[in-house]
A and B are shown apart, each in its own frame.
Chain A
């Protein structure tokens, strides 16, 4: 899976979790840009990504997931390991 494919899947997850098909999501999107992105939805995002990509974030990594680009960067090596 290349970075772009992962990015597109991540966008789809954001749209599902926030129930908004037209949600604009870019690399730098962070919790400041999406009103509903609170700690509760943050867990849902992480969980949805773990379920989608069949990966597990370790404790230290979750703190690093501040914006969409960082999320994709963390997922990519894990997905490639699985392949």
Chain B
């Protein structure tokens, strides 16, 4: 929804929250998630606004709302109530108003460190209790700085300074989140700074209603929390498509020529575009695929990258579209060439008419409203399209995978017969159970895969850790390498024993490796695991979503018979025997890590 896109009008969102919610609920493609909000202060409006931002991401929250300022008691003593609610996410809404004790000026050296431990003891109790008794993902706030400084600037560095103290408290929070999987930080301290502390504190709403910060800051905070949550549920954007003229450099390459475009330190505008390119390069390094969509002659467009001040180069782009076709058509092609859904794409263009065309032609593509080039970065950055909650080794290599895929497509053109093409790839796969080394990637793959996804069961890291320990569960993940390079882990399966059968609870595969027959190799592994456990029946389920039609006939292809079907789902069954003939004949499989 456009009015929820950054930069948004907070006052308008707060005023119209009821009608906004009504409109967002009309979307019939929402996933439901349970979210427990634990309170350090009044939470009412925060809950309503968080709901709106989550609905905007396609997530319909069911809330558990903790009592006013009872986060400690509820987490440590009354956790059974939270456990019964069985949340997917817990958010603890604490702020600097919850800090009980600040160091007094007269404390001896070292005593304020003791006070830090004293203060944080009860938070650690809260986190430990949630970790041990609930085990879902938990979002924590850092503390923002206090509104007053008795000692002035010395509060930042005196032994007993309040600013130094808050930094020490935050360090405890940060270290905990770094060391404990499933704990994520909503950096309230940064948000308050970004909002401006002077405006952040609204003393009358605090004394009247115990709202810890200005009401108008609530949408910004909720937008941040919702970005973390949507990222955890795999709703991050995967690709950035950029225009060239006046987006990556100043001027028009076709008219001005490479020597006259504005880029680099010579002009103010040139510096702006260099900074934009540096920022986009950093996005790319997170594993976001980068493509060009420009109205230009291809040769002219590429010439722009001959300018010595470029931070990006032609090889950085997965797909390079420079032609005179409508941009919505080009972006549609880009999506299909990278093999991602159009709702995973962000498109950046300085031209309002092009933006409008893409918005109308491809309503699922995110097209942020841009104004002046010096504000582009701020808008892309604060929109939170690429909010990271989990950065795997795989992310850093993703652009290499995309490039290899382009080379494969080129090779395929030389073959008339698809099987001989597959054979020519010299594919090999390492298949193993989930473990501590691959868990980050497993979690990510499970949560972000939409097309090859049979049950759309999303799972957090803590859930996956439980499956690893569960002796009734089989976990399988597979890599796929070929002569063009490695693809990393590209498929995961979880199956568990249900009566006398093995039921496939979850099976996902990255769109990177579709049509490579890897599913056969994985299925072979499942069958062997079943036989070794004396199980001879396998059940597979397919739940229909808007995006997973690709696998609607997967079980049929694997030889299953259908036993139940309606418009929302189908259930399939296969009986196996000890003389099972392996389906995979093309990929060389290495089996590791037997459970």
B15 within 8 A of A: yes
Cβ contact of A47, chosen from B16, B18, B44, B216, cutoff 8 A: B216
Instruction: Specify which chain B residues have a CB less than 8 angstroms from the CB of A19 in the assembled complex.
Output: 16, 18-19, 22
* A-binding residues in B (CB < 8 A): 11, 14-19, 22, 44-45, 203-205, 207-209, 211, 215-216
Q: Find chain A residues with CB under 8 A from B22 CB.
A: 19
A25 at interface by CB-CB < 8 Å = no
Offer 10 A-B interface pairs, CB within 8 angstroms, sorted by A.
A16-B15, A16-B19, A18-B18, A47-B11, A47-B15, A47-B215, A48-B11, A48-B15, A51-B216, A62-B204
- Give the residue of B16, B19, B45, B207 whose beta carbon is less than 8 angstroms from that of A43: B45
Q: How far is the CA of A40 from the CA of B210 in the complex (A)?
A: 11
In chain A, positions 28-59 with a C-beta closer than 8 Å to chain B are: 39-40, 43-44, 47-48, 51-52, 56-59
Is A13 located at the chain interface by the 8 A CB criterion?
Answer: yes
A3-17 contacts to B (CB < 8 Å)? 13, 16-17
The interface residues of chain A, by DSSP majority, are classed as helix
CB-based nearest A residue for B17: A44
* Cα(A18)–Cα(B19), bound, Å: 9
Cα-based distance from A59 to B204 in the complex (angstroms): 5
| Chain B minimum-CB-distance residue to A20 | B18
Which residues of chain B have C-beta atoms less than 8 A from A16's C-beta?
15-16, 19
**A interface, how many residues as a size bin?**
10 to 19
Once the chains bind, are B207 and A40 in contact (CB under 8 Å)?
no
In the complex the two chains form, what is the Cα distance from A50 to B208 in whole Å?
15
Q: Is the CB of A51 within 8 A of B11?
A: yes
- Tell me the complex Cα distance, A13–B506, Å: 49
Residue among B19, B45, B208 making CB contact with A40, cutoff 8 Å? B45
Residue of B nearest to A47 (CB): B215
For the complex, what is the distance from the CA of A56 to the CA of B216, rounded to whole Å?
13
Whole-angstrom distance between the Cβ of A58 and the nearest chain B Cβ: 7
A61 to B15, CA, bound (A): 21
Residue of A nearest to B214 (CB): A47
Q: Which residue on chain B has the smallest CB distance to residue A38?
A: B44
Please measure, in the bound complex, the distance between the C-alpha atom of A48 and the C-alpha atom of B11, giving whole angstroms: 7
Q: How far is the CB of A66 from chain B (nearest CB, A)?
A: 14
A48 touching B207, Cβ below 8 Å = no
Q: How many Å lie between the Cα of A39 and that of B45 in the bound state?
A: 11
CB distance from B417 to the nearest CB of A (A): 62
A48 and B204 within 8 A (CB): no
CA distance A43 to B204 in the complex (A): 11
In the bound complex, residues from chain A placing their C-beta under 8 Å from that of B18 are 17-19
Q: Which residues on B sit within 8 Å (CB–CB) of A59?
A: 203-204, 207-208
Q: Is the CB of A44 within 8 A of B204?
A: no
Contact assessment for B44 and A48 in the assembled complex, using a CB-CB cutoff below 8 Å:
no
Q: Which residue of B lies closest to A62 (CB)?
A: B208
When A16-B19, A40-B45 are in contact, do A47 and B14 touch as well, CB less than 8 Å?
yes
Residues of B contacting A47 with CB < 8 Å?
11, 14-15, 215-216
Q: How far is the CB of A34 from chain B (nearest CB, A)?
A: 13
Give the Cβ gap from A42 to chain B, nearest Cβ, in Å: 9
